[in-house]
């Protein structure tokens, strides 16, 4: 065990993992995070707290993770390199560990131009792959970037993301390989709608044996309205939404019901693909649907950690 | 290579010279002339705008190359008109402006924003291709700089927002990493990107403080 987190235990025992994402509030209410924790506790193995997602200022991921822990939900702290340099990032890793947060997901982050402070200075001292490597060295060598020793234990389970739907397509698997080489223990992908492309990508991943070196959790983002599907297709870079999904939602009487149906079909397909070790549900602003999804997908009871042999 | 400039909003210019009534105007015959931001025509247009706004223009000139030390002589030749002014409004790029400021005791205010050192890709199309960071990676990236050409200055490949060869931050901007990958693929050297690029030493850039080189004679 690298960190002994619940998520690590679930994944290393070969069980199909379920994680979800919770966005912290644009304010100081602990209740917002606590409510999400209550919804997600019975149906997830761990929950990501986003780090100023889409470059919009929110409560810090670290604080959100502490709130989750207080609610007995295992946190995954997301960490972007957009806003902090190597001094601040390493300092926050130490802070997370001392507060019992050991799953850290490394990202570069959305460009600040997309957020609510577009005039901000983007830091980008390093990229996500370099951050993964930094965390691995902190854990395995107990060294800071500068080479000085870290005192105390540094248990970390290191996550990263990959987008199989961005370009250049052929390089996306090389990039995944780089993340694994850098030290990623698990991968959460961009939301999957285009099953043809995702299947092709997973084939390329398994052909290279990469699924044996890292745990891949496929991203699932339930859609509740036709307009949302069109928006994601047209306005969110790196998300591919096939025509069949937009027309099904467009023609549906109850779009929420149809959206749930589509989500369950996607999960069912994903589970048949070799090399996929779990799903990561990103129900932006629709967290209350997650228990339903996990239940109807036949993935309960959760969390499964207690039943995992060491 | 050319210093790329854009006019500041006139309100901002007026605000910067708000305490001054008499203004001397300086343009530049090199970069800002070719870009139509600070040549003779723009200096004369500025003169008219200032006069309409109630300022008195004591004189004007277009220095051939304002960043050149000869600027000292140009200023001396027009000493009387400059002396009569409360301040100088300057329409060269920042390099010209700070050269002017070396040789006059008058306050100098910029009328332009200096943007970047531009390379002319096609007539009138100037792009930024180097931020002069002091740690060149062009040898690893098929002579396309990811620090400059990638909006997030990524070191290890494209982000998840590279779509159809374009950058998600601006759909008119080519994705620098797509260009790097295309060129390395054509050269059959894509495996150059397999290695994880170590963290960059930013101390050689402006992060390390203003840089200076003194050549030994």
Instruction: Provide, as residue numbers in chain A, all residues whose Cβ is less than 8 Å from the Cβ of B164.
Output: 167
User: In three state form, how does the secondary structure of B162-212 look?
Assistant: CECCECCCCCCCECHHHHHHHHHHHCCCHHHHCCCCCCCCHHHCHHHCCCC
The whole-angstrom separation of Cα A25 and Cα A162 is 25
The whole-angstrom separation of Cα A3 and Cα A103 is 8
B156 and A CB contact within 8 Å: yes
Residue of A85, A86, A89, A111 to mutate, testing the B interface (most B Cβ within 10 Å of its Cβ):
A111
pLDDT digits (tens, 9 = 90+) for A248-281: 999 999 999 999 999 999 999 999 999 999 999 9
Residue of B nearest to A132 (CA): B196
- A148 has pLDDT over 80: yes
Residues B5, B32 contacting (CB under 8 angstroms): yes
**Cβ atoms within 10 Å of B135's Cβ, excluding its own:** 11
Domains defined along chain A, listed by start? 6-307 (3.20.20.220)
Residues B22, B11 contacting (CB under 8 angstroms): no
pLDDT for position B101: 98
The whole-angstrom separation of Cα A33 and Cα A131 is 26
- pLDDT average, residue stretch A222-235: 90
- A201 has pLDDT over 90: yes
Low-confidence ranges of chain B (pLDDT < 70): none
pLDDT for position A309: 44
pLDDT for position A305: 57
pLDDT digits (tens, 9 = 90+) for B53-81: 999 999 999 999 999 999 999 999 999 99
pLDDT for position A16: 96
Domains defined along chain B, listed by start? 2-115 (3.40.50.2300), 129-197 (no CATH)
Of A124, A133, A166, the CB nearest to B196: A133
Of A122, A168, A190, the CB nearest to B178: A168
Q: B111 to chain A nearest CA, in Å?
A: 22
Q: What is the ipTM of this complex?
A: 0.93
- A304 has pLDDT over 90: no
- A307 has pLDDT over 90: no
pLDDT digits (tens, 9 = 90+) for B145-162: 999 999 999 999 999 999
DSSP letter string, A181-226? HHT-SEEEEEEP--HHHHHHHHHHHHHTTGGGTSEEEEEE-----H
Residues B177, B190 contacting (CB under 8 angstroms): no
- Does A178 contact B160 at a Cβ distance shorter than 8 Å? no
Instruction: Provide, as residue numbers in chain A, all residues whose Cβ is less than 8 Å from the Cβ of B155.
Output: 126-127, 129-130
Residue A205 exposure: Cα atoms within 13 Å on the Cβ side? 32
Of A111, A165, A174, the CB nearest to B152: A111
The whole-angstrom separation of Cα B103 and Cα B74 is 10
Q: What are phi and psi of B108, to 5 degrees?
A: -115, 130
Instruction: Provide, as residue numbers in chain A, all residues whose Cβ is less than 8 Å from the Cβ of B160.
Output: 161-163, 165-166, 190, 237-238
Report the share of chain A in percent with pLDDT over 90. Answer: 90
Nearest of A226, A205, A225 to residue A215 by alpha carbon: A205
Q: Tokens 């070191």, residue?
A: B155
Of B153, B181, B196, the CB nearest to A171: B181
The whole-angstrom separation of Cα A25 and Cα A30 is 8
pLDDT for position A308: 46
Of A162, A181, A237, the CB nearest to B161: A237
Residue of A nearest to B168 (CA): A237
- A14 has pLDDT over 80: yes
pLDDT for position A236: 83
- A163 has pLDDT over 50: yes
- A225 has pLDDT over 70: yes
- Judged by phi (left if over 0) then psi (alpha if -120 to 50, else beta), residue B137 lies in alpha
Q: What is the β-pairing status of strands B108-110 and A17-22? A: unpaired
A to B CB pairs, distance under 8 Å: 98
Q: B18 to chain A nearest CA, in Å?
A: 26
B199 and A CB contact within 8 Å: yes
* Residues of A at the B interface, defined by Cβ within 8 angstroms: 82, 86, 108-111, 113-114, 122, 124-127, 129-130, 133-134, 145, 161-163, 165-168, 171, 174-175, 177-178, 181-182, 190, 237-238
Ranking A187-201, A219-233, B31-45 by mean pLDDT, the lowest is A219-233
B154 and A CB contact within 8 Å: yes
B194 and A CB contact within 8 Å: yes
Give chain B's mean pLDDT. 96
pLDDT digits (tens, 9 = 90+) for B196-209: 999 999 999 999 99
pLDDT for position A237: 77
Ranking A206-220, A238-252, B132-146 by mean pLDDT, the lowest is A238-252
B145 and A CB contact within 8 Å: no
């Amino acid at each position: 065990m690298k960190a002994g987190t619940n998520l690590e235990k679930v994944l290393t025992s070969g069980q199909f993992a379920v994680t979800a994402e919770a966005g912290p509030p644009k304010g100081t209410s602990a209740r917002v995070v606590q409510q999400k924790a209550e919804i997600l506790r019975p149906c997830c193995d761990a929950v990501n707290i986003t780090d100023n997602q889409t470059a919009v200022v929110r409560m810090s991921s670290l604080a959100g993770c502490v709130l989750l822990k207080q609610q007995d939900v295992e946190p995954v702290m997301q960490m972007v390199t957009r806003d902090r340099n190597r001094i601040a990032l390493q300092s926050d890793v130490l802070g997370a560990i001392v507060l019992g947060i050991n799953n850290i997901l490394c990202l570069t982050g959305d460009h600040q131009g997309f957020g609510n402070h577009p005039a901000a200075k983007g830091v980008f001292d390093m990229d996500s792959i370099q951050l993964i490597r930094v965390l691995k060295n902190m854990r395995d060598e107990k060294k800071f970037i500068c080479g000085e020793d870290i005192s105390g234990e540094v248990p970390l389970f290191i996550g990263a993301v990959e987008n199989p739907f961005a370009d250049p397509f052929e390089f996306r698997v090389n990039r995944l390989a780089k993340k694994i080489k850098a030290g990623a223990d698990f991968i959460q992908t961009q939301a999957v709608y285009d099953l043809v492309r995702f299947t092709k990508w997973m084939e390329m991943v398994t052909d290279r044996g990469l699924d044996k070196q890292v745990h891949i959790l496929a991203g699932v983002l339930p859609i509740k309205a036709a307009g949302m599907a069109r928006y994601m297709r047209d306005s969110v870079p790196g998300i591919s939404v096939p025509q069949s999904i937009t027309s099904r939602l467009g023609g549906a009487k109850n779009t929420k019901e149809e959206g749930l149906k589509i989500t369950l079909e996607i999960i069912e397909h994903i589970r048949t693909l070799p090399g996929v070790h779990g799903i990561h549900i990103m129900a932006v602003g629709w967290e209350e649907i997650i228990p339903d999804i996990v239940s109807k997908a036949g993935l309960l009871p959760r969390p499964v950690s207690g039943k995992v042999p060491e | 290579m050319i210093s790329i400039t854009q006019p500041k909003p006139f309100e901002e210019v007026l605000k910067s010279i708000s305490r001054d009534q008499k203004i001397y105007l300086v343009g530049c015959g090199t970069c800002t002339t070719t870009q139509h931001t600070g040549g003779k025509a723009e200096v004369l247009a500025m003169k008219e705008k200032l006069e309409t706004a109630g300022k008195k223009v004591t004189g004007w000139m277009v220095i051939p190359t304002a960043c050149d030390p000869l600027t000292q002589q140009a200023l001396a030749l027009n000493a009387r008109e400059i002396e009569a002014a409360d301040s100088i409004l300057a329409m060269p790029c920042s390099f010209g402006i700070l050269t002017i400021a070396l040789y006059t005791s008058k306050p100098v205010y910029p009328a332009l924003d200096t943007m970047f050192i531009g390379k002319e890709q096609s007539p009138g199309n100037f792009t930024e291709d180097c931020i002069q960071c002091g740690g060149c990676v062009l040898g690893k990236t098929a002579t396309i700089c990811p620090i400059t050409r990638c909006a997030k200055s990524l070191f290890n490949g494209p982000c998840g927002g590279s779509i159809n060869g374009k950058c998600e931050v601006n759909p008119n901007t080519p994705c620098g990493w797509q260009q790097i990958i295309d060129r390395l693929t054509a050269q059959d050297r894509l495996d150059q990107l397999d290695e994880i690029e170590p963290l960059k030493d930013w101390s050689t850039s402006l992060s390390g403080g203003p840089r200076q080189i003194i050549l030994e004679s």
